[in-house]
Amino acid sequence: MSISQTHSADALRITEIFYSLQGEARTVGVPTVFVRLTGCPLRCVYCDTEYAFSGGDLFTIDDVVSKVAAYQPRFVTVTGGEPLAQPNCLLLLTRLCDAGYEVSLETSGAMTVAEVDSRVVKVIDLKTPASAEMGRNDYDNIPLLLPDDQVKFVICDRDDYEWARFKLDEYQLPARVSDVLFSPSHGQLSGRELAEWVLEDNLPVRMQLQLHKILWNDEPGH
């Protein structure tokens, strides 16, 4: 039940809860429930979820967990916006883990992940120069990454690619996390061009295309 007309100490503002295929990262193609939290302090130039910047409805954590359970999922992804901008996101993540789901968190990397439940797979999106939000990267998060976590770079151009290559080495990311993801910015860089760069340099990364954009052209709810 939405509590948009009331208040609760464990409330979260939610843009949408939906069931779809995971569009990226290590579990791409796997049926997943997505919980999209409202609000984000960043304004990346390639953002594809601007509709989640504001609005949404207030739900208690119990209500969110109940709605997730109705889909009988194995995988749950908490995303945004920037989900960690809402402090109660941490409690939601723990509740979802306690319920037995395989839980991932999609975060910009601009906010600390220090208190995220260790059972959660963190997918941190390091912002490249062309994102216009590189200055928001919190590099103190990198030592907090666990072996099952993932780091993503959205690559807009060759300069972004070279910057990301440098960060691979600077922080020894391939040895630190399970997957380093290179994704071409939709409409800015062709997947084929990025693939050729990765192959030419023999990078230890996973190059990915966003499945949900291929299948559903980025429609909300997918």
Q: Is residue 4 assigned to a domain?
A: no
Q: Is residue 47 assigned to a domain?
A: yes
Whose structure tokens read 């939906």?
18
Alpha helices in the chain, H assignment, sequence order:
61-69, 89-98, 158-170, 173-176, 191-201, 211-216
Alpha carbons 92 and 78: distance in angstroms, whole number: 9
Q: How many domains does the chain have?
A: 1
pLDDT one digit per residue (tens) for the chain, 222 residues:
444 434 568 899 999 999 999 989 999 999 999 999 999 999 999 988 899 999 999 999 999 999 999 999 999 999 999 999 999 999 999 999 999 999 999 999 999 999 999 999 999 999 999 999 999 999 999 999 999 999 999 999 999 999 999 999 999 999 999 999 999 998 899 999 999 999 999 999 999 998 877 888 777 776
* CATH code for the domain in which residue 85 is found: 3.20.20.70
Of 32, 39, 34, 50, residue with least CA distance to 13: 39
3-state secondary structure of 160: helix
Alpha carbons 198 and 165: distance in angstroms, whole number: 10
Q: Is residue 64 assigned to a domain?
A: yes
Q: Is residue 185 assigned to a domain?
A: yes
CA atoms within 13 A on the CB side of 7: 1
What is the residue range of 144's domain?
11-216
Q: Is residue 89 assigned to a domain?
A: yes
Q: Is residue 101 assigned to a domain?
A: yes
Per residue in 183-222, pLDDT (tens digit) is 999 889 999 999 999 999 999 999 999 887 788 877 777 6
Q: Is residue 76 assigned to a domain?
A: yes
Q: Is residue 3 assigned to a domain?
A: no
